[in-house]
């Protein structure tokens, strides 16, 4: 198998028990990664309760979890069909997927604005790997892919209370350009 990703020592130079150095490899999505992605998505988005659906306590938790699983399945389905407007990269350690990033190219906005428009559609890290540089590695590799695809402008949306994600994005060169609020209401019979 030919390696096409990037390896990064996420220990920060710290010595670990037994002298084990844990490297995270960022590589393109491959068939078989979807099982871990379906596990990671709901865990990542529901653990802090900051994601759009997870924050709404009026929604049943089991349905919210299923919605995040289906979201992953949609990304995977598009990638497996060869949809060139989407790209998935995964981070793995010792052969186990610990995070993923979904990147998109918006052809409509690209035509409208006259330059190639991209986005970070989704970024999810297994909570056991939070704070270890996995998100930063995925975003940096994702930006490299977007640039290689000719993208000139990239946007990402995250919850305003997800400070860790905001820090990752800012570390990778993003700046806040818009902050909004989502309102919802349950209509009773």
Domain housing 123: 6-171
Residue 53 within any structural domain of the chain: yes
Give the global pTM.
0.83
Left if phi > 0, otherwise alpha if psi is -120 to 50, otherwise beta: which for 133?
Answer: left
**How many helices (DSSP H) and strands (DSSP E) are in the chain?**
5, 6
Is 135 part of a structural domain of the chain?
yes
The pLDDT, as a whole number, for residue 2 is 42
What digits encode the pLDDT tens for the residues 4-52?
555 555 544 443 444 444 689 999 999 999 999 999 998 998 887 767 7
Is 15 within the bounds of a domain? yes
Write out 132-156 in H/E/C secondary structure.
CCHHHHHHHHHHHHHHHCCCCEEEE
* pLDDT higher at 175 or 12: 175
Number of structural domains the chain divides into: 1
Q: Is 188 helix (H, G, I), strand (E, B) or coil?
A: coil
The answer to whether residue 14 sits within a structural domain is yes
Per the domain annotation, does 115 fall within a domain?
yes
Whether residue 40 lies inside any domain: the answer is yes
Token pair of 41 as six digits: 């998505």
Compute the mean pLDDT over every residue in the chain, rounded to the nearest whole number.
Answer: 87
106 within some domain: yes
- The answer to whether residue 182 sits within a structural domain is no
Q: What is the CATH number of the domain that holds 55?
A: 3.40.630.30
């Amino acid at each position: 198998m030919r390696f096409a990703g990037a390896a990064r020592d996420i220990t920060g130079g710290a010595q670990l028990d037994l002298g084990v150095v844990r490297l995270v490899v960022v590589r393109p999505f491959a068939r078989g990664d979807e099982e871990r992605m379906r596990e990671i998505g709901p865990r990542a988005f529901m653990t802090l309760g900051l994601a759009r659906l997870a924050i709404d306590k009026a929604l049943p938790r089991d349905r919210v979890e299923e919605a995040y699983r289906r979201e992953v399945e949609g990304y995977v389905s598009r990638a497996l069909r060869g949809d060139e407007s989407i790209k998935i990269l995964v981070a793995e350690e010792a052969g186990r997927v610990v995070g993923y990033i979904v990147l998109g190219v918006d052809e409509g906005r690209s035509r409208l604005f006259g330059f190639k428009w991209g986005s970070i559609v989704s970024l999810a890290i297994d909570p056991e790997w939070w704070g270890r540089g996995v998100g930063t590695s995925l975003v940096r590799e994702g930006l490299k892919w977007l640039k290689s695809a000719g993208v000139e402008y990239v946007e990402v949306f995250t919850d305003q209370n997800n400070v860790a994600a905001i820090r990752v994005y800012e570390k990778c060169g993003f700046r806040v350009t818009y902050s909004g609020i989502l309102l919802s209401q349950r209509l009773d019979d």
